[in-house]
Amino acid sequence: MIKANISTFAKKISSSATSENFSNLNFPIEILAGLTVALALVPEAIAFAFVAGVPPLTGLYAAFIVGLITALFGGRPGMISGATGALAVVMVSLVANHGIDYLFATVVLMGIIQILAGIFKLGKFIRMVPHPVMLGFVNGLAIVIGLAQLKQFQISNGSGKTVWMNGSELIITMSLVGLTMLTIWLTPKVIKSFPAPLAAIGITTAIVLIFDMPVLRVGDLADISGGLPSLYIPQVPLTWHTFEIITPYAIILAAIGLIESLLTLNLVGDITNKRGGASQECIAQGAANTVTGFFGGMGGCAMIGQSMINVKSGGKTRVSGVSSAIFLLIFILFASALIELIPLAALIGVMFMVVIGTFAWNSINILFRVPKSDALIIILVTAVTVVEDLAVAVVVGVIISALVYAWTTASRVHAVTRSSRTEEGAKVYEIEGPLFFGSATAFGELFDPANDPNMVIADFQKSRVVDQSALQAIEDIAEKYSKANKTIKLRHLSKDCHSLLAKSGQLIVDSDDDPDYGLAVDYNVKVGAFK
C-alpha cells in the first residue's frame, strides 16, 4: 500500500510539473508577485521567530527552505509557506524548557509525521472540519498571536527580573506600534502594489534612526548573520527520553501545520478554481520540515495571508513561489545589517495588524443568527485554542459537532403505522430517518411487541441502516417479537442496507428489492448473530 501511494505521489509530482504551461506564463507578473511576497515575509518571519523564542535567522531560514520546497512540490501552485504564528506559539514552551536543539529535532519528526499523513491520504479528512470550528480556530489563532505580543513590552531590570515597561519607554514604544499600524492601514489607499507591512517597517525604522530613539531593535536581541543555511545535526541524545519529550510537540505541530496548510489549499483552490492535491501537499510540507530541521529552521506551514498576497498580485503558478524563496535568500545574504536596525515596536505593530486581519469579526454577528449549538462550538473552539492549542481545539470542535449532529438526527427518527395492504392482518411500521448508533434506542421504542399482531413489517423505504448499532437494534427488536411468538420482517431495503445486513448474517432470504420498489421483498430476521 505504502509503495503504491508513493508511486502515485511521484506521478502527481511529475504531472504537476509538466502541467505548468510556460508558454502562457506572464513571467514578469509572477516574479513581481514573488518579490512582493518575499518583502512581506521578512518582517513576519522575524516576528514569528521572536514569538517562538528563537533567533530571527531561524525564522528566515524556515521561510526560505519551507517556501522553496513546497513551492516546487506542493499540491497547489500559488500557495506560500513559511514560519507561522500558529506553530510558533506551540514552540515557546519547548524552546524555553529544553533548548533550540530539541526544537530542530522536533521539526524533523514533525516532517516525518506529515509525510506519513500524506502517504496514507489523511489530508482528505480536512473536509470533515465544520465551518463553526473553522471560525473558532481562526479567532483563537488571532487571540493567541495577540497575547504573545504582550511579552515584547517586558524588559529585564537591573536585578535580572522581567518587568513591564513604564514611563517614556512605554510611551515611545506604544507610539511606534500605533504608527506602524496606521501606516499599514493607509499604505494600500495610496499605493496598492507595495506591501504595506514593509512600508510600515521602513517608515518606523527611519523615524527611529533619524531621531535616535532609545528603543529595542532586532540587533539588540540577536546577532543576525547573513550566511547560507548549513547542514546541522540537532545536538540531542538519541534516547527514548528524548523521543518522549519531542513526540507530543511533533504531533501537535504536524497536526496544526497540516490543518492550516490544507485550509489554505482549499482557499487558494476556490480562487484559482482548482481542486485536489491534499495528499501531495501533506508530503511536500513534511519533506520541507524534515529538511529545514536539519538546516537550522524552525519549521513552517502554509501561510494564508501571504498566499492571498501572492494570488492577488498575479502569482498563480510555482514560479511566484520559487521566486519569493530566492528573493528571501538574497535578503538574508545581503541585507542582514538592515534587518538588525528594525525596531521591535514595528514588528509588534505588524503582528497586531495580522491579528486584526485574521480575526473573523463577522463571527460576532453570526453568534446571534446561527443555532445555539454552532455558537457554542465557535466560542468553545476559540477558548480551547487560547488555553491549549489549535490541534486540540479543532479535535474538540469536530467531536462536539459530530455529537450535536448525531443527537439532532437521532431525534428525528419516527415511524408511521398502518395496516398492511399485502399481508392480511399485518401491521406496517414506516420508518423515517437513518438508523445508526444515535437513533438505535429511539428505534427500539417505536415498536410495541406486546400489543402488535402476529405479523409486523418494518418498512425502510424512507430510512437507511447505517452501522453495527443499527444491526444490533434490529436484532434486539426481532428477539422481542420472537419471544412473543410473533414475526417481524424487513421491507424496502436499499442495496447498501441489504448488503450490510446480509454480511452480518441477519438475513435468511438473500434477494434484492426491485430498485424502483415495483416489487417489495420481505426479509425474515434471524436472531443470535451478535450473541
State pLDDT tens for residues 372-429. 888 898 899 889 888 876 667 878 888 888 888 888 888 888 899 988 887 788 899 9
- Distances in Å between the Cα of 318 and the Cα atoms of 79, 155, 326, 338, 418 are 8, 43, 12, 29, 64
Percent of the chain with pLDDT over 70: 85
Is pLDDT larger for residue 124 or for residue 20?
A: 124
Percent of the chain at pLDDT > 90 equals 23
Fold category of 411-524 in CATH: Transcription Regulator spoIIAA (3.30.750)
Reported for 415-418, long-range contacts at CB under 8 A and 24+ positions apart, including other chains, are: 415/446, 415/447
For the chain, the structural domain boundaries read 27-128+243-337, 366-409, 411-524
297 vs 5, more confident? 297
Question: Region 437-441: what's the mean pLDDT?
Answer: 87
Question: β-strands 301-302, 414-419: how paired?
Answer: unpaired
pLDDT computed for residue 519 by the predictor: 47
What's the distance, CA 522 to chain centroid? Answer: 47
In the chain, what is the straight-line distance between the N-terminal and C-terminal CA atoms, in Å?
35
DSSP codes of every residue in 395-440: HHHHHHHHHHHHHHHHTT-EEEEEE-SSSTT-EEEEEES-BSTTTH
Segment 484-507 shows an average pLDDT of 74
More reliable by pLDDT, 467 or 515:
467
Mean pLDDT confidence for 113-128: 85
Q: Which residues are within 8 A (CB) of 171 and not within 5 positions of it... i.e. 6 or more apart?
A: none
Confidence of residue 513 (pLDDT cuts 50, 70, 90): very low
Higher local confidence (pLDDT), 186 or 500: 186
pLDDT tens by residue, 221-243: 666 667 888 899 999 998 999 99
Q: Which three cell numbers stand for residue 377?
A: 462550538
Q: Is 228 helix (H, G, I), strand (E, B) or coil?
A: coil
Residue 244 CB neighbour total at 10 angstroms: 9
- For residues 404 and 196, the model is more confident at 404
Q: In the prediction, which pLDDT does 7 show?
A: 56
Q: Categorize the per-residue pLDDT at 160 as very low, low, confident or very high, splitting at 50, 70 and 90.
A: low
Q: What is the band of 63 on the pLDDT scale with cuts at 50, 70, 90?
A: very high
d(CA 104, CA 275): 33
pLDDT at 99 over 50: yes
How many angstroms separate the CA atoms of 284 and 133, rounded?
25
The secondary structure of residue 24, as a DSSP letter, is G
From CA 394, how far away is CA 255, in angstroms rounded?
10
* Residue-averaged pLDDT of the chain: 82
- Determine the pLDDT at residue 106: 95
Those residues whose C-beta lies under 8 Å from the C-beta of residue 10, and which sit 6 or more positions away, are: none
Report, as an integer, the average pLDDT of 50-54: 85
Mean pLDDT of 60-70: 94
List the single range of 83-92, 109-118, 309-318 with lowest mean pLDDT.
309-318
More confident site: 4 or 492: 492
- Strand, coil or helix: what is 154? strand
Q: If residue 460 lies in a helix (H) or strand (E), which one and from where to where?
A: strand 455-462
22 has pLDDT over 70: no
Highest mean pLDDT among 121-130, 211-220, 268-277: 211-220
Burial 152-182 (b: 16+ CB within 10 A, else e): bbeeeeeeeeeeebeeeeeebbeebbebbbe
**pLDDT at position 514 over 70:** no
pLDDT of residue 111: 95
Q: Would you say residue 529 has pLDDT above 90? A: no
Q: Which amino acid, residue 428?
A: V
Q: Which pLDDT band holds residue 509 (cuts at 50, 70, 90)?
A: very low
pLDDT level of residue 17 (50, 70, 90 thresholds): very low
Cα 134-62-256 angle, rounded to 5 deg:
25
Residue 510 has pLDDT above 50, yes or no: no
**How many helices and strands (H and E) does the chain possess?**
21, 9
8-35 average pLDDT score: 63
In this prediction, residue 391 carries a pLDDT of 67
Q: Name residues whose C-beta falls within 8 Å of residue 3's C-beta, 6 or more positions apart in sequence.
A: none
